[in-house]
Amino acid sequence: MRTYGIVLLLVGMMIAPARAQEPTDFQARYRTAKELLQEGKYSLASEYFLALAQEEASTNIFVAYAAYYHGLAALLNGNGELAGDIWGKLVGKYPDWREQGELVFWKGTMAFASGQLGEGYRVLAQMKSGPQRDALEKVKSYYTLKETDVRRLQRLFEEYSDDRELAVHLADCIVMQPMVQQNQELLEFLIGDFDLDPSTYNRITPGQSVKKEQYRVAVLFPFQHEVLSQRRPNAIPVFYQGLFDRYEGMRMAQEALGEEGKTIELVAYDTKGDSATTAGILALPEMKSVDLIIGPLFPDARELVLQFSEENRIPMFNPLSANADGIGNNPFAFLINPSHETRARRVADYFTDNSTDSTVYIFYGTRTQDSLYAYAYKAEMELRGFWVPVVMQVDEEKSQTGFEFLTETVRYHDLKDLDSARAVDLLNDYLERKRDNPNLRLEKEEAFRIPNDSIGHILVASDNGLIAASIVGAVETRAAKGDSIPVMGSEQWLLQNYDYVTYEQLERLGVILTAPSYFEKQTSKAEGFQEAYIRRQNILPNREVFEGYDMLWFLGNMLHDHGTYFQFGMRDQGFTPGNFVQGYDFRGSNDNQYVPLLRFRDYQFEVISYQGEE
C-alpha cells in the first residue's frame, strides 16, 4: 500500500492511548492487534480489532478504538470502501467519542489519496487546529505536489486562492508546459500576487521594456540566395518564392511604418536551411543588439535560435509553423499563427455551443501536423465530455478508404452482423414502409452500417484536397439518404489547383472551415495595396505578400507602442485587427488565439465564430 505510505509516518502523532486502567485480557489483545498493524500485517490485525470491537462488555473500553483501527487496517490493506463503512457506523454509534478528529483526518486523507484534492481541501478547511490538522496539512502537501495537471490545479486555486503552497506549485507546473499551453496571464498574476521571483521562471517584468526611436528586426529565412539567384523567376520552387514574397510584404510594411514615424531596421540573413550557417549568424556581435527575430523555419536552425533567444531575452516569432515545438518552452518565443492546440480549442468551443450530439468522428492525413491537430482535438473534446469513437488516418493515395468507411452498407439479410437493437429497428422500419409499399423486397433493402443520426460532427484534420473530397463526398452520399452531418474542414481545401470541394458543396452541406490566414481581397484597402504592388513588381501579389505585410505591421507597431518587451502590451491589448488578415490575439498565450471559422452562404464567405472581440 504505497499510496498511504506518507500517512503511516503520521499515525503515531494522532491517536492517544486509552487512559483508564483496563482488564489485562482486553488490553493485551488490543496491544497485540496494534503491533500487528505496525508490522504491516493488516489482515490479521483487522481480525483482532474486529473481534475486540464486537465484545461490548462493560469492562471493554476498547470497543470504539478497536472499531477505528479495524477501519484503518482495512484501509491500509487496500479496502477504502470497507474503512469508510466502518467509520461511518462508528460516528453514528459513538457521536461523542473524543477521537472524532481522527475520523475527520482519515476522511481527508482518503480524499487526497484517491485524487479528490478539492474534497481533501474542504475537509482540511473545516478542521480545528491540533495534531490531526497538522498531520492532514502534511498529507495535503504531499498529494498536492504530486499533482501536475495544470487544469486541476487551476480549478483548485480558484477556490483556495490564498494558499501560497498551491500557488507556487501551480506556477511551477505552468512553466513546465509547452509555451502554447501556458496561461501567461495566470502565471504573471501568481508571480505578482505572491511576490515570486520572476527570474526563477525566466520571466522579465514590464518595467524592463525599453522604448527606442528605432528597432532592429532580424529576418532569418532559408533564402538560398546563391542557388536560386541563378534561376529564372518561373523556375524558383513555390516554397522559396513564397518566402521572397513574404519578405517583400515585410519590406512594404517597413516603409509604411516609416511614413508614420515608426522606424524599423529590417535586416535579412540567409540561414541556407542548415544549422552551421545559422550558428555563424548567431555568433555575429550585431545579433545581440537586435530587438526581434523573425524565423527561422527549419528545425535544426530553429533549436539554435530558440536557445539564443532565451539566453539573450530577445523575442522571436515563427511566421509559418502551427507546431508547439516551434517555440518549445522559451517564454520569448511566439507563433504568429494559432497552434494546433489552439485551433482544436476554438473548434471545440464552436461545437460545444452548436452541437446537440456528443459523438465525434475525426479523420486525418499522413502529415505530422495532421495527427497533432487530430489528437489535440480528440483530447479537447473528451475533456468536454464528448465521445470520440473514431480517429482514423486516411492516406492520400488511398483516400477512398474514408469514403468507404462512412458509406459502407449492410443488407437486411445480413442484420445478424449488427447488434440486436439496431437489427430490430431496421426490421420495424422495413415493415412499416412495406405496409405503404407492398412491392418492397427484403433482399434488396440495405442501410448504412453506421446508422443515420449517430455522428454528431466530423473533423477533417487535413489540408489535403483528395482526403477532403473523400470525406465530404461521403457526407453528401449520406445526406442523400436523410443523414445530416456537420463537417469542419480547412480553408486550404480551396487554395489548391483542383476543385476537390466545390463552393456548392460547402453551402449545400453547411461545411465550416478553419481559416487562420483568411482575408478578403475585395476590400478597398486590399485593392489599393494590390495596385501599389503591381506598380512596384509588375505582377499580382499572392497571399504571402499580404501576410508578410500584416505580420511586420503588427509587430512593428507593438515594438513602437510598448518597447523591447512588447509582449506585455501585446497581451493586454487583446485582439488587434489586421489590415488584410482577420487579426491577432495573444491574450494569455504565446501563439495567436484568433481562429476565424468560415461558412459559404449566398455566394460569399462569412465569419461565423472567432476568438478576439470580447
Give the count of domains, the chain: 3
Q: Which band of pLDDT confidence, cut at 50, 70 and 90, is reported for residue 16? A: very low
Q: What is the CATH number of the domain that holds 402?
A: 3.40.50.2300
More reliable by pLDDT, 466 or 326: 466
pLDDT of residue 204 exceeding 90: no
Give the pLDDT confidence of 250-264 residue by residue, as tens digits.
999 999 999 999 999
Least trusted range by pLDDT, from 46-60, 195-209, 322-336, 587-601: 46-60
* 122 in the same domain as 230: no
Tell me whether residue 430 is in a domain: no
What pLDDT was estimated at residue 18?
42
* 460 in the same domain as 391: yes
Closest C-alpha to 326, from 311, 338, 344? 338
What pLDDT was estimated at residue 614?
47
Are 266 and 552 in contact by the 8 Å Cβ rule? The answer is yes
Tell me whether residue 413 is in a domain: no
pLDDT of residue 7 exceeding 60: no
Q: What is the CATH number of the domain that holds 80?
A: 1.25.40.10
Tell me whether residue 70 is in a domain: yes
Give the pLDDT confidence of 400-446 residue by residue, as tens digits.
999 999 999 887 666 666 666 666 677 777 777 777 787 776 666 67
- Alpha helices per DSSP H over 413-512: 420-436, 465-479, 503-509
- Read off the pTM: 0.78
Tell me whether residue 434 is in a domain: no
Interacting residues of 156 by C-beta distance below 8 A, sequence separation 6+: 117, 118, 121, 166
Least trusted range by pLDDT, from 64-68, 120-124, 399-403, 415-419: 415-419
* 187 in the same domain as 251: no
* Angle at CA of residue 169, ends 165 and 175, nearest 5°: 150
Domain boundary among 461, 488, 514: 514
Interacting residues of 318 by C-beta distance below 8 A, sequence separation 6+: 295, 297, 302, 326, 327, 333, 334, 335, 336
Closest C-alpha to 555, from 567, 546, 543? 567
Tell me whether residue 593 is in a domain: no
Q: Residue type for 353, please?
A: D
* 128 in the same domain as 252: no
What pLDDT was estimated at residue 60?
67
Closest C-alpha to 547, from 195, 113, 245, 314? 245
Interacting residues of 533 by C-beta distance below 8 A, sequence separation 6+: 252, 539, 540, 541, 545
Closest C-alpha to 374, from 488, 517, 494, 502? 488
Tell me whether residue 166 is in a domain: yes
* 557 in the same domain as 509: no
What pLDDT was estimated at residue 22?
46
Are 488 and 457 in contact by the 8 Å Cβ rule? The answer is yes
Q: Which domain holds residue 333?
A: 209-337+522-581
CA distances from 476 to 290, 447, 469, 485, 487 (A): 53, 15, 10, 9, 11
* 284 in the same domain as 195: no
The CB density around residue 165, as the number of other CB atoms within 10 Å, is 13
What pLDDT was estimated at residue 527?
93
Residues 309 and 319: their CA atoms lie apart, in Å, by 15
Domain boundary among 484, 514, 544: 514
* 228 in the same domain as 189: no
- What does DSSP say about strands 409-411 and 263-270: parallel, antiparallel, or unpaired? unpaired
Domain boundary among 145, 172, 201: 201
Give the pLDDT confidence of 310-363 residue by residue, as tens digits.
999 999 999 999 998 889 889 999 999 999 999 999 999 999 999 888 999 999
* 99 in the same domain as 10: yes
pLDDT of residue 483 exceeding 90: yes
* 53 in the same domain as 195: yes
* 225 in the same domain as 186: no
* 30 in the same domain as 123: yes
Tell me whether residue 222 is in a domain: yes
Tell me whether residue 271 is in a domain: yes
* 219 in the same domain as 285: yes
Compute the average pLDDT of residues 119-137: 87
Least trusted range by pLDDT, from 337-351, 377-391, 461-475, 593-607: 593-607
Closest C-alpha to 523, from 582, 466, 467, 574? 582
Closest C-alpha to 512, from 606, 400, 594, 393? 606
pLDDT of residue 15 exceeding 70: no
What pLDDT was estimated at residue 342?
94
What pLDDT was estimated at residue 414?
66
Are 384 and 354 in contact by the 8 Å Cβ rule? The answer is no
